[in-house]
Amino acid sequence: MATIDRYERLRRIIAKSIERNDFPKFKWGEDGRSFTYEVEKKRYVYDLETTTSSQLKAKDEEAEPFRRAPERGRQYTVVYNPDKTLKAFTRDRNVFISKLNGTGLVQVTQGGSEKDRLKFGIASWVYGEELGVREAMWFSPDGKKLAFYGFNEKEVIDFYLTLDETKVQNRLDVEPYPKAGAPNPIVDLYIYDLDSKKTVKVDAHWDSGGGPDLGHYIYNVRWSPDGNELLFNRTNRRQNVMEFVAANRETGKCRVVIRESQPNSWTDNTPEMQWVEDENGAKTKFVWLNYRDGFKNLSLVKFDGSGEKPITRHKFDVAAIVRVNSKKKVIYYTARDGENPYRLQLHKVNLDGTGERRLTNPKYNHTVQVNEACDRIIDTCETVDTPPTTDELDAEGKFVKNISRADVSRFERQGLAPVEMFTFKAADGKTDCYGYLMKPAGFDPSKKYPLIVTTYSGPESGTFSERFRVPDPACELGFLVASFDGRGTIGRGKAFLDEIYGKLGMVEIDDQAAGVKFLAKRPYVDAKNVGIYGTSYGGYATIMCLLRHPDVFKAGVACSSVTAWENYDSVYTERYMNLPQNNPEGYRQGSAMTYAKNLKGHLLLFYGTMDNNVHPTNTHQLVDALDKAGKRFDMMVAPDRGHVQMSLTKIWAFFCEHLMGMRADDALKKVFDRRARERRRHMKAKEPLLTALKT
């Protein structure tokens, strides 16, 4: 614990131990010869010809109508027409339209009511949380139509949380929350005509093979570029069939533009797409990124639904579309064909699939920006242990000039150890997986160090890309810190993802243990003192690692954790686990309670009483099972807090005690005291603002 002061000091500065100069919040200028970027909330412009950078002066911009950002899982309650003269908003579960000042009020819907559990212009909570729905009303480009959601939650079972736990009297928070296998909300789409004041219902329900599927999902709603059709994605409840659909704005009749199917797993719910213009400027085609032949590839799709043509046929994943130039008929995109799948490469291909080529060096990871004319590229190349360099390239990826190199002098002055990336075999003994290891400054390979694993591990996640990294400040407490991307994470093809289908809590957990066993062969890794921590799915992974591999993991801190998949929402859970009725054994094996009797190490559970995402009942069920099994554990509760992680300082104090054999409380007390003083000063400084806001 002699390094606690160094830890606290580095915790503040380590994130800034290099000056990356890779231009975050990058935007090309209209001329394609300059770009703006933002660093520490200051905006700059860089001129490619003069190679100079200058700070932009603040200027008054046309004020946009204010709307408060919605909370997690919620939607904006106000939307504006294109010329900002009208607003649509929700009140008492119904939709209204008025002028910005509130005059000319028109009530669009009448049936919304809490009693009937009907609402319009608002989405179900699970849509916001799992399907990215941030808006529930959409004006057409010409401003003459308003599309909006309708939800019937009559069959959805309510979940209850208690709020104001630190006050004398608490209160209830009630949310229709569809659990796995339980009734889902019924969703509809409507289109209202502002001139005729008539509403048509979109014919969005579909037959998924066994009759109308009222458990389906409708999301990613937007208007077509010409405004003639309302576009949306829909998927069946199992989410193994997904359709991109267009609805006629006058009649509500639908047509399927393209259909995706993964019979034995799940489809990509929101494939990336970019429009392609024809000779007349009409957007009649689009580039579509989805799984083809087991890997993510590009296709060119006709918007009228008459055909689809593959553009790429790679045996590795395309990562993202960077730029589509309709006039030149070319696409720039990134793909995972570097020396490992996490070193992204820039490719160029013609829209007809010819002329495909890689433009960047596969020894490095590349973060790229291509201007609209597709004649200039800004490329930041790096690896986990190679600081970033930013260059200007021509249209074919040839070097033009250097723009900047990262300043690593602060990194070097701190004596920080480079981060190591490595490969290991998954628990199946044959699949290559990747991880990274962080070491303390002054690392001595002749000594043994406790190992801490940071984890999330959920399906379609990924803990790292091959960008330059600095060590976790916790290394200065005397720990090694590692993370592993096992099977089920992104970037390795569909088969790699599908390894976890129907069996969450098994394959990905076994791969975490396999990563530890690989590192344990190194003489400086103290294999008898291994800890792990994570939040949300990472909390679940932490618990399952301790319970399913008690001889590998000695201590764990699990925050806001799922403990059984019957407890979680339908959209996320059923995507990866199918319904409980169809996969009872998978749900049993994925339950932490099944293995409660196996606990041998030290487990600290943490949750917030106001967590409306992963409900506290998850932790309560595990507490009950551990207690019945006669197991000892620790638990901390955060009153009136939501889906959060415990303070890192408290996490490290727990590991110092259980992996280093020392009481950390006294050594960390000054840290807590200093933090409290800092918070008091911060809140005192904010008091005038808070008073004004309350007023």
The pLDDT value given to residue 158: 96
What does the DSSP assignment read for 454-476? E----TT--S--SS-----GGGG
Nearest to 21 by CA among 370, 382, 386, 380: 380
pLDDT digits (tens, 9 = 90+) for 590-646: 999 999 999 999 999 999 999 999 999 999 999 999 999 999 999 999 999 999 999
Count the neighbouring beta carbons within 10 Å of the beta carbon of residue 689.
9
Asked whether the predicted pLDDT for residue 544 surpasses 70, the reply is: yes
Cα distances from 652 to residues 223, 472, 637, in angstroms, run 49, 12, 17
The pLDDT value given to residue 325: 96
| Cβ–Cβ under 8 Å, residues 310 and 350 | no
- Residues 451 and 510: their CA atoms lie apart, in Å, by 17
SS3 10: helix
| Cβ–Cβ under 8 Å, residues 345 and 334 | yes
| Cβ–Cβ under 8 Å, residues 455 and 483 | yes
Yes or no: domain 415-663 corresponds to CATH 1.10.2020.10: no
What is the band of 322 on the pLDDT scale with cuts at 50, 70, 90?
very high
Fold match between domain 66-258 and domain 415-663: no
Pure H helices in 334-408:
none
The pLDDT value given to residue 359: 98
Token digits of residue 540: 């679940």
Residue 142, H or E segment: none
Token digits of residue 589: 């094996």
pLDDT digits (tens, 9 = 90+) for 461-507: 987 779 998 888 889 889 999 999 999 999 999 999 999 999 999 99
Backbone angles phi, psi at 230, to 5 degrees: -95, 125
Count the neighbouring beta carbons within 10 Å of the beta carbon of residue 590.
25
Asked whether the predicted pLDDT for residue 16 surpasses 70, the reply is: no
Nearest to 395 by CA among 325, 342, 317, 310: 325
- Residues 419 and 399: their CA atoms lie apart, in Å, by 28
The pLDDT value given to residue 1: 40
Residues 6+ apart with CB under 8 A from 120: 90, 93, 94, 95, 108, 109, 111, 112, 148, 149, 150, 151, 190
| Cβ–Cβ under 8 Å, residues 184 and 569 | no
| Cβ–Cβ under 8 Å, residues 149 and 123 | yes
The pLDDT value given to residue 410: 77
pLDDT digits (tens, 9 = 90+) for 109-147: 999 999 999 999 999 999 999 999 999 999 999 999 999
Domain ranges for the chain: 66-258, 415-663, 671-695
Asked whether the predicted pLDDT for residue 39 surpasses 70, the reply is: no
Residue 437's identity, in one-letter code, is L
SS3 347: strand
Count the neighbouring beta carbons within 10 Å of the beta carbon of residue 304.
11
SS3 563: coil
| Cβ–Cβ under 8 Å, residues 320 and 306 | no
Nearest to 85 by CA among 194, 168, 187, 193: 194
pTM of model > 0.85: yes
pLDDT digits (tens, 9 = 90+) for 356-401: 999 999 999 999 999 999 999 999 999 999 999 999 999 999 999 9
Asked whether the predicted pLDDT for residue 679 surpasses 80, the reply is: no
Average pLDDT over residues 48-64: 65
Token digits of residue 483: 């993370």
| Cβ–Cβ under 8 Å, residues 644 and 559 | yes
Nearest to 454 by CA among 429, 427, 472: 472
- Residues 264 and 418: their CA atoms lie apart, in Å, by 42
Query: Bridge-partner residues for 636, per DSSP?
Result: 606
pLDDT above 70 covers a percentage of the chain that reads 88
Token digits of residue 134: 């941030």
| Cβ–Cβ under 8 Å, residues 156 and 185 | yes
**Which CATH code for domain 66-258?**
2.140.10.30
- Residues 604 and 593: their CA atoms lie apart, in Å, by 16
| Cβ–Cβ under 8 Å, residues 292 and 313 | yes
